Amino acid sequence: MGSSCLSKALTDVKRSLLTQRSVFSPVFRRQHWSGSKIITLNNSLRACWQKHPAIPYHDCRSTSNAAMAGVPQRTKIICLGLGRTGTYSLMLALKQLGYDPVYHMSTIMRKKDPAEFEKWRRLTTEPATSNDIRALLDDYAAILDYPAIMFPELLYETYPDAKYILTTRDPASWEKSVKSTLLRIKDQWKAAPYIPPLQQAIQGFQNEIINDWYHGGRLGEPQELIKHNDRVKGIIPLEKLLVYEASQGWDPLVEFLGVEKPSDPFPSVNDTASFQQMMHRIIDSLPPEPS
């Protein structure tokens, strides 16, 4: 029963093994496999199990030789800090530490699929469950930024064994950054000759869901950062939560995660000036509106 699809999935696994190291080992993955290949392999196994439930299924993303030998598996990392608190720099840092693939607002943009925003939008209009979160995020080793951070209770319910990071910054500097970036985009798009569907979806989601639904139309106000941070601190147990500023660099991060400190400098990217330059490049490169 289900022998053909199971055989295909097992063949994929065999092809990916090297000297008996798991494809899901972080070291092996960095050297030989991209995150997309791991997701593809796991989806193949999952599809087989869905067609033939009698076949035992194990989520391969969390499997490693160390885990099979009784050594604790690498824990999922979830950053619940608001946008413009250093989430992009932290994303790059986590990838450098081997937590890959990652899920961030930029991940959705790279997918170039407006339907991804609709999946999250449905969670704001219908009762959301852990199954909804798993369908969106199970394939990722680290999760950061909007839209996931708008559901901290559900994330903790779904992933109680994860390690949580709360990126933050001075509320006044956060206000200045948001107003110079996220809120400034609306005016920049008004000057664009044509807004493609993906950009329309991004802007619609930011305006209607992030700003209106989550922040009550107060995105960028200092109290919104304070309120969100207090909410997260009231949900996540202190022993599982690192309150962190990107300016602190590697030391508190690697100590919290229990990993070795890289020799490379901590990534510091996506400041206000870089964000504005990126937006100008995007708008200047837009094609004319289809006739």
CATH code, domain with 191: 3.40.50.300
Coil, strand or helix: which one is 99?
coil
In this structure, the answer to whether residues 8 and 123 fall within a common structural domain is: no
Is residue 290 one of the residues assigned to a domain?
A: no
On whether both 64 and 82 belong to a single domain, the answer is no
Domain-located, residue 236: yes
What's at 11, amino acid-wise?
A: T
Could you give the dihedral angle defined by the CA atoms of residues 208, 212, 213 and 219, in that order, rounded to the nearest 10 degrees? 120
**Cβ neighbourhood burial of 76 (10 Å; 0-12, 13-18, 19+):** buried
Range of the domain at 170: 77-284
Q: Are residues 93 and 64 in the same domain?
A: no
As a whole number of angstroms, the distance between CA 92 and CA 87 comes to 9
Q: What is the predicted pLDDT for the residue at 96?
A: 96
Judgement on whether residues 146 and 88 belong to the same structural domain of the protein: yes
Residue 127, SS3?
coil
Distance (Å) of CA 197 to CA 109, 148, 200, 277: 12, 22, 5, 21
What pLDDT, on the 0 to 100 scale, is given for residue 66? 34
Eight-state DSSP code of residue 287 = P
* Whole-number pLDDT of residue 198: 83
pLDDT computed for residue 225 by the predictor: 98
Domain membership flag for residue 22: yes
Compute φ and ψ for 72, nearest 5 degrees.
-55, 140
- In the chain, the number of structural domains is 2
Do 81 and 165 form a contact (C-beta atoms < 8 A)? Answer: yes
Q: Average pLDDT by consecutive 10-residue portion of the chain (291 residues)?
A: 52 44 39 47 55 44 37 78 95 96 92 92 96 97 98 98 98 94 74 77 92 96 98 97 97 97 89 58 53 54
Asked if residue 85 and residue 49 are part of one domain, the reply reads no
Asked if 99 and 57 sit in the same domain, the reply is no
Q: Are residues 175 and 210 in the same domain?
A: yes
Predicted local confidence at residue 178, as pLDDT: 93
The residue type of 80 is L
Query: Cβ(147)–Cβ(109) under 8 Å?
Result: no
CA-based nearest residue to 161, from 66, 76, 64: 76
Do 260 and 183 share a structural domain? yes
Q: Looking at the structure, do residues 104 and 157 belong to the same domain, yes or no?
A: yes
CB neighbour list of residue 168: distance below 8 Å, 6 or more residues apart:
81, 85, 174, 225, 229, 243, 244, 245
In this prediction the pTM is 0.71
